Chains A and B, each alone.
Chain A
Amino acid sequence: MSNTSENPKPSSSSAKMTLKTSDNELFEVEEAVAMKFCTVKQYFEDEKDSDVAARGSTTVIPLPNVHSAVLATLISYGKKLPQSNAVADNHEEEETKKKERKKYEQGLLKNLMPGELLDLISAANYLDFKEGLEFFNQALADHIQNKSVEYVRKFFGIKNDYEPHEEEKYREEYAWAFEGVDED
């Protein structure tokens, strides 16, 4: 696993932060990645202001709403994003990186249970991790694409509160939407 292309600038790459999850696990993360979690960024900046920053990179930031497994995936995804402080690559390098990222993303999604997507989205929302939110929301939308109404109900645990005739009427009006749906 080669990190060399991701952290070219010595000063910012060595700064690390520690994040503590709901199940009390500690994650050491490069500042550049952690700053993508705007909630963390906000916390960090608040800390700086309050002069407690003398403790420097040993600050531990608590994330009581995020489980370790989820955070691990989000950090992994965050690492693969283009770093804002990276040296500008030439066109070829950029294309290679893009392809690598695509491959990583596909692999990541393949190994995820659909239910885990909900946790990831929830955590990304809490952390205010915009890129993660965008990515996992799209993944979940892709997952429910062309799925039946029953599937969606079961998946999200939504109770059907339609009156039977109401639902019938709706389905008739939008009959075009119910063709060619995937088998459950």
Chain B
Amino acid sequence: MEACMDFMNWLDLDMSEKLLMHLKDPSDLARVSSVSRSLRDFVIANGLFKQLCLRMFPQLSKVAHVMELNNCGVKEPVEVGSSHSMEWESLARDHRVYATLARVCTSFSLRDCISEAISASSTDNYPAETIDNTLLPAGIVSRRAYWSSKGQSNPAVPETLTYKLVSEFCVITEIYIRPFKAYFQRGSPIYSAKSVRFRMGHPKSPNDLGSHLLCDSLPSADDTFIWTYTSPEFPMAQESCLQKFRLPEPVLCIGGILQIELLGRVQTQEMDGLFYICISHVHVVGRCLSPAFVVENIQPSGTFVLKKDMRYKFHTQQSSPDNEAQEISDDQLQRRFRYLRNYLRNLNVIEIEEYEGEEEDVVEIEEYESGEEEYESGEEEDVEIEEYESGEEEDEA
């Protein structure tokens, strides 16, 4: 087990950088940095933590610069010194910030990341079939718990559902969608789509969002948002189960906006012969990186400032900021509870009509808690779909 060659020779030969770049776990790189002062300085000088983060999340190439907020929540004062020492200080800061970022991106708890719905490209029977229905607890299955697009005679017309996430800085790992099965219609048609794609980005102007929440549709989502990430296309199963779409790699969403693009309609409504898409539930799973990290000054080009808040203690056992998560999910839950309460109140007024359908028509409210790690085991009849480029693999239903 003894080294046949002095490691210091390696440093000269630049081989150690190549070796260290093969370390994928931030803990390994952090431990290597504590092997010796020289090695730590080597890691800092070569920005190895930044490189590790960039490999995990290419979206970070848009970081204009990083900042640390000290215990007063203010930017750490920069010591005035020689240009060399300032450059070193900048590298050291990068080291601290990116090391912590790498850690949180891989360790914070997985949770539901949708804060609220923003808009749908079109909505039938607004507000009864609004996009907000997609955020009702997954267990609710009823006549009214779904979003529907407007009808189209051309099945190629796509639809989009746009959501705001719990923070402007989240790592997204997978998205769940359940198409709606209209059991009250003859044949119980399922209004799924052929395939689905996801986009992430930020609002063009921060003020745009406020007035558009929960309205029928935005004049054009493309005018309001700038998309910095587009996923590959995933085939959708023609089944009304909760379908899981796992992104090929976890993606950093900078700006807090996620859009689901539903491509290709498959189901016509008997009544009018038009193609519709209806979705009963949407769920986005990932890790919320705020308040430990905050992004600011997102430019149209996508560049932004990354701030690490040192008031947040990155303890060993802590995997997510418990208190903050409570606050956020309480807020979310309250809003949804109010919506649900109104929804149920309305239900009482509606007559229960006769229909040909299965038992699932009864409104069932399953236990639903945001922030729990239920996603590993899946919910109900999960269907996992592999991504495809058109024409290649088959879908696994």
Contact = CB atoms under 8 A, between A and B. Distances in A.
Interface in A155-184: 155-162, 166-167, 170-171, 173-179, 181
Contacts of A125: 13, 15
Contact of A141 (B23, B27, B103, B315): B23
A121 B15 contact: yes
Contacts of A160: 35-36
Contacts of A140: 19, 22
Contacts of B345: none
A154 B1 contact: yes
B37 interface: yes
Contacts, number: 112
Interface in A135-151: 137-138, 140-142, 144-149
A51 to B, nearest CB: 34
Nearest to B2: A115
Contacts of A145: 23, 25, 28
Contacts of A138: 22
Contacts of A162: 34, 36-37
A119 interface: yes
A141 B15 CA distance: 12
| Size category of the binding interface on chain B | 35 or more
Consensus secondary structure, chain B interface = helix
A18 to B, nearest CB: 26
Contacts of B316: 175-176, 178-179
B88 interface: no
Consensus secondary structure, chain A interface = helix
B109 to A, nearest CB: 14
A148 B31 CA distance: 7
B101 to A, nearest CB: 12
User: Considering residues A113, A175, A176, which has the most beta carbons from chain B within 10 angstroms of its beta carbon?
Assistant: A176
Contact of A137 (B4, B22, B33, B34): B22
Given A125-B15, A152-B35, A158-B7, 20 more contacts: A118-B4, A119-B5, A122-B5, A125-B13, A141-B20, A141-B24, A145-B23, A146-B28, A152-B32, A153-B35, A154-B1, A156-B7, A156-B35, A157-B6, A160-B35, A162-B36, A174-B33, A176-B315, A178-B316, A179-B316
7 contacts: A119-B4, A125-B13, A140-B19, A144-B28, A145-B23, A152-B31, A174-B30
Interface of B: 1-8, 10, 13, 15, 18-20, 22-28, 30-40, 96, 99, 103, 107, 314-316
Interface of A: 113-115, 118-119, 121-122, 125, 133, 137-138, 140-142, 144-149, 152-162, 166-167, 170-171, 173-179, 181
